[in-house]
Amino acid sequence: MSKKILIVEDEMINAILLKKILIKQGFQITVANNGEEARHLLEREQFDAVLTDWMMPHMDGIELIRFIRANIRPTPLIIMITALVSETAKKYALESGADEFIAKPIDTDDIVVRVNDGLKKIEQAKEQSKEKAKLNKKDIEQINEANPPFPAVAIASSTGGPPVLLEIFKNLPSNTKAAFFIVQHGPIWMLETFAQRLKKETEFDVLLGEDNLTIEEGKIYVAPGDKHMIIDADTFKIKLDDGPKENFVKPAADPLFRSVAKAFGRYTVAVVTTGLGKDGTQGLYYISKVKGSIIIQDPATATAPSMPQSAIDTGLNHRKVELKELAKAISEAVFPLSASIKIKNR
């Protein structure tokens, strides 16, 4: 059965264009002229995706997104399509709960890719996570007892992630003795802006991941928006991988988790927060294999609960915590690891 998409657009020309593009891809399309009309439709029937304009009468796109996040289950893919393209507008839309942000005028190929990848992430999240991930035997055999200079905290985050990450690092002491690696799904512009904001609003030194960048304790490394970020276990340097998407995204958390498991072993703390899909789930098996720690945001406190719920469904040993307790949980996990390294290196 073809997927159902709700287009919310008060400009008829734009609505017709979107409808033609998506019908050609085999989708069933319904059009609403404003957010209020869309709200009534969403209360009566289920849609797989909602593509909404921002500035509309009666109920604007931001209000609609917040209504969907708070009230509609299962939550559809949400894409904001708007002519408001300032950095502030983009950040506001994504932090309000949009999965994707697309600027007008519409690029036909781009919107088709974004819709298809987003829907695939939703389908992926519905798969049975309790089926054990297929671990690469060669990778596992190469994982020896790691001897890192300090612990690592690797964080997977997607829809609704920036406010969560800010909450974590505003409340985490800047002298926490670990290196921090973040995969936040998003385009280049978003991650560059987010890294700057994280540096400005916290006491941490924040860097975008670069090829051959040496890892240092106490710093945060954010994966750039067009490549996977991995850790070289021999040199403890960052490597950027321009390989294919994993879990329909690039950067993805799974490549980071696999490499951190190899480089830092049991001195790893993996964290999965809010997000659409199941990125990070497969990588957690590697973290578990080396006896690293796993912390998962309580899905009930997540803007998009499917990533943390998928992680929980693995059945791997983990600590589930509410958003406001994430910083404390990370600090408590890092402290004994840091102390152990210090004692070992005396």
Active site (catalytic) residues: 158, 185, 279
Distance, CA of 141 to chain centre: 29
C-alpha distances (whole Å) from 67 to each of 45, 119, 305 are 15, 20, 16
- For the beta carbon of residue 184, count every other beta carbon within 10 angstroms: 24
Residue the block writes with tokens 């505003």: 170
232 CB-near residues (< 8 Å, 6+ apart): 238, 239, 259, 263
As a whole number of angstroms, the distance between CA 296 and CA 305 comes to: 11
DSSP state for residue 257 in the 8-state scheme? H
Q: Residue 72: name the closest of 37, 41, 95 by CA.
A: 41
**Partners of 8 in the β-ladder:** 32, 52
Q: Note the maximum CA span of the chain.
A: 71
**Partners of 80 in the β-ladder:** 52, 101
C-alpha distances (whole Å) from 90 to each of 97, 116, 156, 190, 238 are 11, 21, 21, 8, 28
Enter the tokens of residue 294. Answer: 């796993």
Contact indicator for 53, 25 with CB cutoff of 8 Å: no
